[in-house]
């Protein structure tokens, strides 16, 4: 016998998430528990945020790490994800527990999330009006994929490796692979 699927409203989800010890992503009423991250994952995300914060200081840009949700509203459903890093500069993006108008989203790939990050999240994030860049960072090899949206709304992808720098045009910052992978992989 199958257990019935319990659907939550957005309000029920947000309230439950405030006191939950485990983070959950929300897809159209269903919630999905998130797995913990590896040491390498945390080091990479930490390296990136450590470089973002001083660069953004004194500007309208705000950077958030892993505990800030991004809300995506599709024709079919409301969705909430927890990206590893999200950057926003829109004054209207003022919700306390989630953002709706990010300029930049960065995900550090792991075995348990890679397919979702590459497919589902890519498709859904691309519907966000203000999103200019979606970045996928491998934790197993020196490889970064950057999805850019141009002024006409067209998306392109660039794959970077050892000899490249990551140009974050959305915030005017360049990161080296050595900076991103410090204490994780040798560049």
What is the third-level CATH fold of 37-68+82-180? tt1808, chain A (3.90.1570)
Locus of tokens 């990551």: 166
Q: What pLDDT was estimated at residue 1? A: 43
Q: One digit per residue, pLDDT tens: the chain, 187 residues?
A: 454 557 999 999 999 999 999 999 999 999 999 988 999 999 999 999 999 999 999 999 999 999 999 999 998 999 999 999 999 999 999 999 999 999 999 999 999 899 999 999 999 999 999 999 999 999 999 999 999 999 999 999 999 999 999 999 999 999 999 999 999 999 9
| Interstrand relation of 133-137 and 102-108 (parallel, antiparallel or unpaired) | parallel
List residues bridging with 128 in a β-sheet: none
The answer to whether 162 and 185 are in contact (CB under 8 A) is no
Q: Can you read off the two tokens belonging to residue 141? A: 């090899």
* In 96-163, beta strands by DSSP E: 98-99, 102-108, 133-137, 144-149, 155-160
- Is pTM beyond 0.75? Reply is yes
Q: What is the rounded end-to-end Cα distance, in angstroms, of the chain?
A: 52
* Long-range contacts of residues 51-57, Cβ cutoff 8 Å, at least 24 apart: 51/173, 51/175, 51/179, 52/85, 52/87, 52/171, 52/173, 55/171, 55/172, 55/173, 56/87, 56/171
Q: What pLDDT was estimated at residue 91? A: 93
Q: Which helix (H) or strand (E) holds 79?
A: strand 78-81
Closest to 160 in 3D by CA, of 130, 180, 182: 180
């Amino acid at each position: 016998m199958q257990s019935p699927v319990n659907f939550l409203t957005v309000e029920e989800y947000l309230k439950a998430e405030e006191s939950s010890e485990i983070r959950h992503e929300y897809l159209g009423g269903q919630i999905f528990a998130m797995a913990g991250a590896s040491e390498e994952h945390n080091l990479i995300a930490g390296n990136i945020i450590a470089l973002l914060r001083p660069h953004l200081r004194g500007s309208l840009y705000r950077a958030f790490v892993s505990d800030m949700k991004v809300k995506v509203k599709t024709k079919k459903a409301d969705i909430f994800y927890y990206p590893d890093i999200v950057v926003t500069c829109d004054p209207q993006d003022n919700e306390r527990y989630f953002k709706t108008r990010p300029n930049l989203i960065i995900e550090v790939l792991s075995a348990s999330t890679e397919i979702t990050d590459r497919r589902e999240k890519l498709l859904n994030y691309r519907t966000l009006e203000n999103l200019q860049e979606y970045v996928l960072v491998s934790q197993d090899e020196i490889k970064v994929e950057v999805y850019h949206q141009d002024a006409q709304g067209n998306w392109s992808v660039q794959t970077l490796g050892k000899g490249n720098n990551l140009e974050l045009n959305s915030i005017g910052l360049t990161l080296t692979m050595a900076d991103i992978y410090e204490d994780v992989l040798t560049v």
